[in-house]
Amino acid sequence: MGFLESVKQTFNIAGTEVCVQTEDDVYSQCDVVTGKILIQGGQYDQDVQSIRLELKEFWTEARSTGKSTTTVTVYKTHETVDLAGAGTIERQSEHSYEFEVRLPPNARVSTKSTGWLLKVRLDVPKAIDPSGDVKLTVEPAEELLAIVQACESSLRFEESLRHRRWDAKTSATHFRLLPPDVLKSELDYLRLELMLGDDGSVNGTLVFDLQEKSIGDYFKALLNRDQVKRPLHLTREQIFTNRGDPNSQAISKVIGDAMQEVVQERR
């Protein structure tokens, strides 16, 4: 092998290419992600020790050095799948591997700078490892979205999408719902803090942000004491009908009863 060819292999120039394909474009929390890994051999044979897929969560953090602050992306591996052991990727050869990994029940919801990715790496001795990755778009679980939908369709709330977020400390997904005109004199907004249970139930908290009606209410608002919290628990049977549609009637009754109680207590 000549010097130039050796350099090409070391830096994977015109070498093995890796492509990660998923069956769907969008996934929900707790979904099983399935797909295929395609590996295309390059201009020369390449010995590999292993081929491995990793499901990674990523987010950004601000790091301070004392004089300046920089934003870095942090990666955390949640699952590893060994696709193949030692072998050779022959020149111009094609290889395909199917995979299956599961997202956590209350996985981080994707944003522009945070979310999930699948990364495949070929372990090549004494050379740069060929790799490929794909970002996943992860949305809240269908159980959580069914609750939001019920609040919108039956209680006439409207979600403020820009306030939707995932809490890193609790793994709860937060939704902010703006009240209909008839409730605006009582309520600034309703926040849902929701988590999916192992049995398909949903647990969380209803946070009612009340309108200020007096000087006392105004000062409570300054101290964030104008919020009233109520626990929420909905079984899967309450969330979905037998046909699998959102059970808006059952969901809205539970949340509506809690809201009525909070409003009456204040009067």
pLDDT in the model for residue 191: 98
pLDDT in the model for residue 257: 96
pLDDT in the model for residue 14: 41
129/135 Cα distance (integer angstroms):
19
**Domain 3-139: which CATH number of 3.60.15.10, 3.10.129.10, 2.60.40.640, 2.40.50.100:** 2.60.40.640
Cα dihedral 117→118→123→124 (10° resolution): -80
CB 144 within 8 A of CB 194: yes
pLDDT in the model for residue 7: 35
255/69 Cα distance (integer angstroms):
43
CB 37 within 8 A of CB 97: yes
Residue boundaries of the structural domains of the chain:
3-139, 142-266
Q: Which residues of the chain have pLDDT under 70?
A: 1-14, 212-226, 267
- Amino acid at position 55, single letter: L
pLDDT in the model for residue 184: 92
pLDDT in the model for residue 220: 52
